[in-house]
């Protein structure tokens, strides 16, 4: 746990670390505190429930959850919290991650999970920052600068 963390990043296995580490890298660009946890919803369901109940008291405002194959982690977290949950479907398994994408995008009514594209953990981080920026003028300014820089780079990069 990190003091001052506003975003919690969770995924179910260390095999997902490489993709999910990009969330922290992008949050770092915006100086947004985060913590990163690995908990399998299948192997450690009680630990996951305990983790979920501690989020709001710790000041966490957004959760980014990575999941592959069955992609149950994001939905399980969303069922236990009132915070926004952003799912990152991870490539893998027999369907190349499409099962994870469909599972996250098809959550039950009342248990929403925002969903980015396959392995697009950087987009999940930017979306988390956008959610935080609703009440944080400093982050809104940083986002505007980020998007301006992004647009300029796109205009100067040949196709």
Residue 25: CATH number of its domain: 3.40.50.1970
Instruction: Examine residue 11 and state whether it is found in any structural domain, yes or no.
Output: yes
Closest CA to 75 of 125, 111, 23: 111
Q: How much is the average pLDDT of 108-126? A: 95
In a domain, 83, yes or no: yes
**Beta carbons of 42 and 62 less than 8 angstroms apart:** no
pLDDT at 159 over 60: no
The domain containing residue 151 runs over which residues? 7-156
Residue 42 resides in a domain: yes
- Domain-located, residue 102: yes
Question: DSSP letters along 39-96, please?
Answer: --TTT-HHHHHHHHHHHGGGT--EEEEEEETT-HHHHHHHHH-SS-EEEEEE--TTTT
Supply φ then ψ for residue 47, to 5 degrees. Answer: -65, -40
Q: How confident is the model at residue 63 (pLDDT cuts 50, 70, 90)?
A: very high
pLDDT tens column, 130-146: 999 999 999 999 999 99
Assigned domain for 1 exists? no
Give the pLDDT band of residue 71 (cuts 50, 70, 90): low
Question: Looking at the domain assignment, is residue 2 inside a domain?
Answer: no
Cα(152)–Cα(45) distance, integer angstroms: 45
User: What is the Cα–Cα distance from 77 to 159, expressed in whole angstroms?
Assistant: 40
The model carries a pTM of 0.92
Residue 84 in any domain: the answer is yes
Q: Which two tokens stand for residue 26?
A: 């992008």
Retrieve residue 81's tokens: 């919290």
In the block, tokens 């956008």 appear at 130
Sheet (strand 114-115) strand order:
34-38, 7-11, 62-68, 85-90, 114-115
Residue 118 has pLDDT above 60, yes or no: yes
Q: How many domains does the chain have?
A: 1
* Averaged pLDDT for residues 49-66: 97
Is residue 89 situated within a structural domain?
A: yes
């Amino acid at each position: 746990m990190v003091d001052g963390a506003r975003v919690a990043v969770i995924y179910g296995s260390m095999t997902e670390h490489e993709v999910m580490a990009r969330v922290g890298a992008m949050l770092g660009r915006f100086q947004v505190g985060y913590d990163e946890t690995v908990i399998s919803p299948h192997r450690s369901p009680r630990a996951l429930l305990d983790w979920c109940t501690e989020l709001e008291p710790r000041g966490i405002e957004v959760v980014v959850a990575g999941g592959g194959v069955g992609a149950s982690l994001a939905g399980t977290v969303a069922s236990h919290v009132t915070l926004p949950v952003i799912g990152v479907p991870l490539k893998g398994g027999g369907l190349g991650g499409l099962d994870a994408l469909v599972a996250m995008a098809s959550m039950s009514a009342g248990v929403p999970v925002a969903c980015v594209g396959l392995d697009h953990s950087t987009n999940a981080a930017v979306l988390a920052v956008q959610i935080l920026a609703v009440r944080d003028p400093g982050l809104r300014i940083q986002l505007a600068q980020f998007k301006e820089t992004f647009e300029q780079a796109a205009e100067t990069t040949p196709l």
